[in-house]
């Protein structure tokens, strides 16, 4: 009987390192286009611009947040969540589908509306984010607006110089957008260089 315990213990100790190796080697479920061998699609989405209007508002106002996302990867396609965060809390989100219109260089413009009804007055740091686990460079899947959104209590006067609420824009410093030309309406926007 004692020999069986020794054999069983040896088998378990032999199997344990294999289990640990599999646990740290990566996720259990891989997408077909994220092949570990390197033959999968190259995915690289970059948040290029985040625009907040108004940047000074009253609690209960609707804040419009626009985000420009560029696809710099292969001609892969997918649907992923795009989110707007205020002080690290998701306040607006939608599904974002990319890649069906073409490959690298396509620029997508997403619009979010945040109804601030019931939100506490104060300053809010806004972040636009398109997160992918399998992105080639996760450091550029988000962009923080440098100027905070200020929500004032209802009835409070808007500070001088911000009567219209103003707009705050943060642009990826590596990006050089192409200026639109007359007659370009409806055509997909592209970028030049920059990365």
pLDDT of residue 188 exceeding 50, the answer is no
Would residue 62 count as lying in a domain?
yes
CATH of the domain at 75: 2.60.40.10
Which of the four pLDDT bands, split at 50, 70 and 90, describes residue 131?
confident
- Residue 186 forms part of a structural domain: no
Which helix or strand (DSSP H or E) is residue 46 part of? strand 45-53
**How far, in Å, CA of 101 to CA of 107, rounded?**
10
Burial of 5 (0-12, 13-18, 19+ CB in 10 A): exposed
Residue 29 has pLDDT above 50, yes or no: no
Task: Please report whether residue 74 resides in a domain.
Answer: yes
In a domain, 12, yes or no: no
What share of the chain has pLDDT > 90, as a percent? 42
Q: Of 7-21, 125-139, 164-178, 181-195, give the lowest mean pLDDT range.
A: 181-195
CB contact set of 137 (below 8 Å; sequence gap of 6+): 44, 46
Q: What's the chain's average pLDDT?
A: 77
pLDDT band at residue 195 under the 50/70/90 scheme: very low
User: What pLDDT is stored for residue 33 in this prediction?
Assistant: 45
Taking only the tens place, the pLDDT of each residue in 144-154 is 999 999 999 99
112 found inside a domain = yes
Residue 32 pLDDT > 70: no
Q: How many folded domains does the chain comprise?
A: 1
Q: Which domain holds residue 80?
A: 45-171
Asked, for residue 157, whether it belongs to a domain, the answer is yes
**Is 167 a domain residue?**
yes
pLDDT of residue 40: 63
Q: Who wins on pLDDT, 142 or 14?
A: 142
pLDDT at residue 132, rounded to an integer: 83
Model pLDDT, residue 65: 97
Domain assignment present for residue 191? The answer is: no
> Which SS3 state, helix, strand or coil, does residue 137 take?
coil
Higher pLDDT, 105 or 154: 154
Which of 6-10, 26-30, 152-156 shows the lowest per-residue confidence on average (mean pLDDT)? Answer: 26-30
pLDDT in tens, 79-99: 899 999 999 999 999 999 888
Sheet of 122-124, strand order: 56-58, 149-152, 122-124
The upper half-sphere exposure of residue 145, i.e. CA atoms within 13 Å in the direction of its Cβ, equals 28
């Amino acid at each position: 009987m004692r020999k069986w315990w020794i054999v069983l213990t040896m088998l378990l100790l032999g199997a344990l390192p294999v289990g640990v190796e599999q646990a740290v080697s990566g996720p259990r479920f891989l997408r077909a286009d994220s092949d570990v061998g390197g033959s999968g699609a190259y995915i690289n989405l970059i948040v290029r611009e985040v625009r907040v209007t108004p940047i000074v508002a009253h609690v209960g106002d609707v804040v419009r947040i626009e985000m420009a996302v560029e696809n710099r990867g292969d001609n892969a396609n997918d649907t992923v969540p795009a989110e707007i965060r205020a002080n690290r809390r998701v306040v607006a989100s939608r599904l974002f589908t990319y890649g069906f219109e073409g490959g690298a260089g396509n620029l997508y413009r997403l619009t979010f509306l945040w109804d601030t009804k019931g939100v506490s007055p104060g300053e809010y740091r806004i972040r636009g984010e398109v997160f992918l686990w399998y992105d080639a460079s996760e450091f550029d899947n988000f962009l923080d607006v440098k100027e905070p959104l200020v929500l004032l209590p209802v009835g409070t006067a808007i500070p001088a110089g911000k009567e219209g609420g103003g707009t705050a824009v943060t642009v990826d410093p590596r990006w050089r957008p192409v200026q639109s030309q007359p007659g370009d309406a409806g055509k997909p926007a592209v970028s030049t260089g920059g990365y």
